[in-house]
Structure 1
């Protein structure tokens, strides 16, 4: 998301700044879909890497679930904890990505400051909503699905395993 978001904010901010420069008329920038076409292979590799890493980390939380089960949590509560865990992790990642994207936009606007004497930043809110909400949903579902085998196993047996 940072790769595409950074490209979008840099392109849109540059377009706004260039349209303010005297003597330059009607500058346009690429749309979101065009950015995806140019970077589909990099985005696919990044997506597979993130999903794989997330699944590995989620599997490591089996110990936490076993301890919560011993403390008295029922399977519905453990499933809810797993879903919330995925939601929090993915939402935090998207917020950090949005902050980094905003920083790219600010740096781009500062580059144009000597020409136009204004800091006009165009943040791609629609992109983050369109991509962010499904990512949060997939992360929550992935955490829940990876926690299911741990919920079927006895917590005592899990803790006694080498």
Structure 2
């Protein structure tokens, strides 16, 4: 049976893939819910540059998912790999939260609706909390082995 950390890694990888694919394939559609409406037309207008950056963000999420998948199986170096990955993801999420909170404090300057900024900030909190928990509160989780590996060791 997989360990808690393996279960968490697989769930996170699945959520990342499911979430990032629409970002890459349908950036205008994704952003249409978040961008502020055009004052003249009253409809959201997604600039091509924003769509491109959204696709880049989606690709970065997919790229950061690869190490999650690679460190899921038990190995001698799994705990070190997991620690580096969780620390990296946590740092990125802290910086993204800081940017989102900065823009929440001045929503008229971002081009996004206040609702989308707040929701983005809130949706990032579970991942940030999980990574902070594993990195600083319970770092022994990265050392957990699956039951299969424990039986082999005995």
TM bucket (normalised to shorter chain) is 0.3 to 0.5
> Whose helix fraction is larger, Structure 1's or Structure 2's?
1
Relative to the length of structure 1, the TM-score reads 0.34
**Greater relative contact order (Cα < 8 A, sep 6+):** 1
Relative to the length of structure 2, the TM-score reads 0.36
